[in-house]
Amino acid sequence: MKIAILPGDGIGTEIVAQAERVLGALDLRLETEHALVGGAAYEAHGHPLPPATLKLAQDADAVLFGAVGDWKYDTLERALRPEQAILGLRKNLGLFANFRPAICYEQLTHASSLKPELVAGLDILIIRELTGDIYFGQPRGRRASPDGAFKGSPEAFDTMRYARPEIERIAHVAFQAARKRGKRLTSVDKANVLETFQFWKDIVIEVHAQYPDVALDHMYVDNAAMQLVRAPKSFDVIVTGNMFGDILSDEAAMLTGSIGMLPSASLDAAGKGLYEPSHGSAPDIAGKNLANPLATILSAAMMLRYSLNQPAAADRIEAAVQQVLAAGLRTADIWSEGTAKVGTVEMGDAVVAALASASTANAKTTMTKG
């Protein structure tokens, strides 16, 4: 099982290092290879996604990604900005389905921005389409100069666009995911204003005919944003477009206590995926041992489950994370009175130790039974 490791910029290197340590504690036969991406790749090679990095990602069975970006690159022309690396990877790897689970662990109900009774037991899945929508639609207004200014241009525009096959395939993925959970799917759109999303809604209804066992409802995105903070547990699986999914999944992250707890998976049609935390590169805290590595560690668990066919190993990582939280260890983003504040490395140490203790306990149990 070959994993491409792309740490990226800012805190990306720190959090990915801890996820690698956790993977290394599992006694699996994993081959890993590192490459530069984002701003680090631009500095070294003049492009955020060099050909060698892309080839490594294409040849691997899965990709573990950190984060990209830094304010110092904001004046670069758009094609060379670090964020273009993740867009390029999604496009070239055919990654069209983004899974973002939002789970509020029992130990973190008081870290949520909502009242504990609203988030206790929260477990929702947001599925975001990744290859269409306004982020990729053509035509689009072009900046007149590489310094980012429009130099007096009279307008700027981006085009929202979806093709039928893009909507059909994400709808199938969402209905299939809902079948494995509570058999409830909410399709989020803005069909009352945008023709693109009336098209989306019509196609989702068509696909629903193939999944009569799944309950389908539709919700406008503004209402969905409101309901996520009013009654988040009323949702089970949400499917939506690229831009709406980008926004709603970050909103959902705060229900869990911190975006530092939110993993994600971006999958192709065959189940190969890129796995990354939902947060950004946070250059303001980079190198300070402050970042929460749990979203990246949980992303590694998703990688084992979805792309590497190692569900038992994924379960072990998730159980270790819960054990660490139960022990009261917290990074700064989820810290509260009465808990122990730890750094990035120390949180990684704790998860590795929890894995080791669970392995020892299992071994003793096996010996006793034998």
> Is 144 a residue whose pLDDT tops 60?
no
Within 13 Å of residue 15, how many CA atoms lie on the same side as its CB? 38
Among 163, 235, 175, CA closest to 208: 175
> Is 8 a residue whose pLDDT tops 60?
yes
Among the listed residues 61, 158, 246, 268, the single catalytic one is 246
Among 11, 22, 4, 99, CA closest to 350: 22
Report residue 21 as tokens.
């340590």
Lowest mean pLDDT among 110-124, 194-208, 315-329: 110-124
Lowest mean pLDDT among 71-80, 87-96, 236-245, 251-260: 251-260
104-133 average pLDDT score: 91
> Is 256 a residue whose pLDDT tops 90?
no
pLDDT, tens only, 158-203? 999 999 999 999 999 999 999 999 999 999 999 999 999 999 999 9
| Residue 119 pLDDT level (bands cut at 50, 70, 90) | very high
Beta partners for 216?
A: 185
| Residue 281 pLDDT level (bands cut at 50, 70, 90) | very high
Q: Is 222 a catalytic residue?
A: yes
Beta partners for 97?
A: 129, 267
How much of the chain, in percent, has pLDDT values that exceed 70? 94
252-261 average pLDDT score: 86
pLDDT, tens only, 15-67? 999 999 999 999 899 999 999 999 999 999 999 999 999 999 999 999 999 99
pLDDT reported for residue 112:
86
76-87 average pLDDT score: 92
> Is 367 a residue whose pLDDT tops 50?
no
Strands 97-103 and 123-129: antiparallel
CB neighbours (10 Å) of residue 95?
A: 21
List domains and CATH numbers for the chain. 1-96+268-363 (3.40.718.10), 99-263 (3.40.718.10)
How much of the chain, in percent, has pLDDT values that exceed 90? 79
**Angstrom distance (rounded) from CA 47 to CA 32:** 23
pLDDT, tens only, 307-323? 999 999 999 999 999 99
Q: Is 250 a catalytic residue?
A: yes
> Is 254 a residue whose pLDDT tops 90?
no
Among the listed residues 147, 217, 222, 284, the single catalytic one is 222
Q: Give me the chain's average pLDDT, please.
A: 93
pLDDT, tens only, 216-248? 999 999 999 999 999 999 999 999 999 999 999
Burial call 315-333: b when 16+ CB within 10 Å, e when fewer: ebbbebbebbbeeebbbbb
**Angstrom distance (rounded) from CA 254 to CA 258:** 5
User: Is the CB of residue 41 less than 8 Å from the CB of residue 85?
Assistant: yes
> Is 277 a residue whose pLDDT tops 60?
yes
Report residue 156 as tokens.
């700027």
Q: Is 135 a catalytic residue?
A: yes
| Residue 152 pLDDT level (bands cut at 50, 70, 90) | confident
| Residue 143 pLDDT level (bands cut at 50, 70, 90) | low
Report residue 131 as tokens.
């290859």
Contacts of 340 (CB under 8 A, 6+ apart): 328, 329, 330
> Is 284 a residue whose pLDDT tops 60?
yes
Among the listed residues 135, 158, 220, 233, the single catalytic one is 135
Among 107, 18, 114, CA closest to 340: 107
User: Is the CB of residue 304 less than 8 Å from the CB of residue 273?
Assistant: no
Report residue 106 as tokens.
């029992």
Alpha helix (H) residue ranges in the chain: 12-24, 39-45, 51-59, 84-93, 116-119, 164-179, 195-208, 221-230, 242-255, 294-306, 311-326, 344-369
pLDDT reported for residue 361:
63
